[in-house]
A and B are shown apart, each in its own frame.
Chain A
Amino acid sequence: MRKTMQSVAAAGAVAIVAATGAPALGQSTSDEIAKYREALQDGNPAELWEARGEAMWKTPRGPAKVSFERCDLGLGPGVVKGAYAQLPRYFPDAKRVMDLETRLVWCMVNQQGMTEAAARKTVFGNGSEKRSDLEALAAYVASQSQGVAMNVPIDEPHVHDMYRLGEKMFYYRGGTHDFACATCHGDDGRRIRLQDLPNLTKTEGAQKAYTTWPAYRVSQGELRTFQWRLNDCFRQQRFPELEYGSDASIALTAYLAGRANGAAYDGPAIKR
C-alpha cells in the first residue's frame, strides 16, 4: 500500500516537472496540479500521514503514558471533529492563543510528560530516517475538519489581538531584499517564475490557500503543515528563522486562518 502510493506520488512528481518544464503547452501550473489531484482522487499520499497520526492520537505516549484523547483542542478533551477549523484559539489553561501544532506540543509536555525538547525534536520530517510525529498528528486532526466551515473565533479578544498583529506582520517589509508577505501575496494573478501566487489580501485567495494546508508536497515527498509553510516563506524572504510555535507564527496563522472564515476546510491537500 505504502510503496504503491509513494510510486504514484513519484510518477506524479515527474509528470508535474515535465509539464512545468514545457510552458509552451500554455497550461498553468495550477491546471496541472488540478489534473494531478483529479488523477489521484482518493489516493492523496497525505492519507499515510493521517493514518499514522490517528494511531498516535489513540496510543498512550510519553513518560505519563497518556494518549491525546485527553488533549483539548478547543472543543473538549479528545474531540478532533471540526477542531482544526476553529484554530487558532485562546486556551485559558495555557493562557495563550495557540494553533494546532503549538497545542499538540502543549499536550505532549503537560499531559504526556514529555520535555519541551523531546516534543519538538522533529517538527519537520526529512524522508524516512527522520519522520515527524507532529506532521502526522496535524494531518490526522486536520483531516477531521474536512467539509467543516472555517470558524476561527476572531472576535474573542485574545485572538482578535493576535489577528491584528498578524496583519501587521503580513505587511512588514524588512531584510536584505525588502520583502513582506504582501510583496508576493498582495495582488491578483501574479506568479513567481511559473508558480501561481495566491492573493492573501482577498477573502477568496486566503480561503483557498489556508483551507488546503496541511498538504502533501509532491516536490518534497512530505506532508507539510502551516507552521512549515510560514517557516519556509520567511526563509525565502531572507528573514531569520521563524521559530516553531512562536507568538509571531501564531499571530500570522490567526490572521490568515481568520481571513479564511466561512470557507469549508478542504485539506490535507496535495500541492506541487
Chain B
Amino acid sequence: MRTFVATRVAMMISAVGVVLHGCASAPPETDDAAARAAAMMKSSFKAHGQATLARLDQDETQRLCSEYAGRPLPAPIVERIQKANLATIRYPGDNNLVGDWKAGEKIAQSGQGFQYSDDPKGPAGANCYACHQLSPKELSYGTIGPSLYRFGKLRGYTDETRRYAWQKIYNAEAFAACSSMPRFGYHGILTEQQIRDVVALLVDPASPVNQ
C-alpha cells in the first residue's frame, strides 16, 4: 500500500511536466473548465463511509484520460501512460501466478466492494461478468470489454499467457492507455491471492472458460 501511495505521488509530480509537454501535440484548454469542474466536484460530494473525498483526487493516468476523452490520444501520451502503469505491476514473491479457478469464478461473479453501500471489511469482487463473456455457462454477461471465452485455449497454456493475464488484471493501463478496465492490483481492489484465482479462471485448462 505504501508503495502505491509513493508511486501516485511520483506520478502526480511528473504530471506537471506532461501538461506542459502535452501542449505541443494537443490544443490547450481555452479556459480553466477542467480545474473548475474538479473544484466543484470537491464541494458537491460528501464522504460516505469508505468512499472519502480523496477518491476524487486523480492520479496522472486518470487526469490524462479525462483530459483526452473523446479525442485521439497522442502517441507520446499513450507511451507515457503505459510505461508508468507497467512500472506499478508487482508479482508474488514465489512467482506463482495461478490459483484456483473455482475461487476465481466467484470473484468474477461478484460486484461487491468499494461502494459506500458495501461492507468495507468484506472481500471485494472483480465483477468480470459485468463487462466480459467468460464461462459459456454464464449467459448474463456484459459487452463493455471483449469476450474472454477460451482465453487460455486460444493463446496457449504458456508462461507468457499466464504472465500477461496477471499483468492485465493488475493494471490494464499498462497495455491499453485509457482502458475502461479498473486497475485491480494497482488500486488494491483484489488481493494477490484473488488475482491468482482470476488468472486461473482464464488460463487453467480445466476452467470452464477454456471448455
Instruction: Report which A residues bind B (CB closer than 8 A).
Output: 20, 23-24, 164-165, 168-169, 171-180, 182-184, 186-187, 189-195, 197, 201, 234-236, 238-243, 246-249, 251
B: residues with CB less than 8 A from A are: 33-34, 36-38, 40-41, 43-48, 51-53, 55-58, 61-63, 65-66, 69-70, 114-117, 129-131, 139-144, 173, 180-183, 187-189
In-complex Cβ contact of B58 among A173, A192, A251 (8 A) = A173
Residues of B within 8 A of A165 (CB): 33, 36-37, 40
Point out the residues of chain B lying under 8 angstroms from A183, CB to CB.
144, 180
A-B contact count (CB 8 A): 141
Docked pose: A176 CA to B52 CA in angstroms: 11
Please measure, in the bound complex, the distance between the C-alpha atom of A174 and the C-alpha atom of B187, giving whole angstroms: 11
A residues near B188, Cβ cutoff 8 Å: 176
Given A173-B65, A174-B58, A178-B62, does the pair A240, B40 have CB atoms closer than 8 Å? no
Flag if B46 contacts A176 (CB, 8 Å): no
A189 in contact with B143 given A176-B182, A176-B187, A241-B116 (CB within 8 Å): yes
Beyond A173-B65, A191-B142, A241-B45, is A251–B37 a contact (Cβ under 8 Å)? yes
Cβ of B106 to closest chain A Cβ, rounded Å: 16
Q: Point out the residues of chain A lying under 8 angstroms from B52, CB to CB.
A: 240
**Which B residue sits closest to A23, measured CB to CB?**
B139
B66 & A171 in contact (Cβ 8 Å cutoff): yes
State whether B62 touches A235 (Cβ < 8 A).
no
Which A residue sits closest to B144, measured CB to CB?
Answer: A190
Q: Which of B47, B70, B130 is in CB contact (< 8 Å) with A193?
A: B130
For residue B141, give the distance in angstroms from its CB to the closest CB of chain A: 7
Residues of chain A with a CB closer than 8 A to B69's CB = 171, 173, 180, 182, 186
Which residue, A174, A201, A236, has most C-beta atoms of chain B within 10 A?
A174
A235 and B143 form a contact (CB under 8 A): no
CB-CB nearest in chain A for B58: A174
B116 with A243: CB separation less than 8 A: no
Distance between Cα atoms of A201 and B70 in the complex (Å): 9
Inter-subunit contact A239/B130 (CB<8 Å): no
A183 and B62 CA atoms in complex are apart in Å by: 12
Q: Given A186-B70, A191-B143, A248-B43, output 15 extra A-B contacts at Cβ < 8 Å.
A: A168-B38, A168-B66, A175-B56, A176-B188, A177-B189, A178-B173, A178-B182, A182-B69, A193-B129, A197-B144, A240-B48, A240-B55, A240-B56, A241-B45, A249-B44
A176, A192, A239, A241, most chain B CB atoms within 10 A: A176
Residue in A20, A168, A194 whose Cβ sees the most chain B Cβ within 10 Å: A168
Which residues of B are found within 8 Å of A187, using beta-carbon distances? Answer: 144
Q: Name the residue among B45, B114, B117, B129 with the largest chain A CB count within 10 angstroms.
A: B45
